[in-house]
Structure 1
Amino acid sequence: MADPEVEIFWPSSLPSAPALEQQDVLREAGVTATCMLRPIRRGAADAVLVLVTSAVLEPFLSTLFARLAEQAHKGLKAFVDGLLRGRPDGAEAPEGVIVESATGGRVTFTADLPEQAYEQAVGLEACGDRWTWDSRRAIWTPA
Structure 2
Amino acid sequence: MPTPDFVLDLRRHIGHAPLPLVGVTAVVIRDGRALLGRRSDNGLLTPITGIVDPGEEPADAAAREALEEADVVIRVDRLAWVHQIPRITYDNGDQSDYLDLTFRCSWVSGEPFPADGEMTEVGWYDLDALPEIDADMRARIASALQHGDTLFEGGR
Structure having greater relative contact order (Cα 8 Å, sep ≥ 6): 2
Larger helix share, 1 or 2:
1
TM-score (norm 2): 0.29
In proportion to residue count, which structure has more strand? 2
Normalising by the residue count of structure 1, what TM-score does the alignment of the two structures yield?
A: 0.31
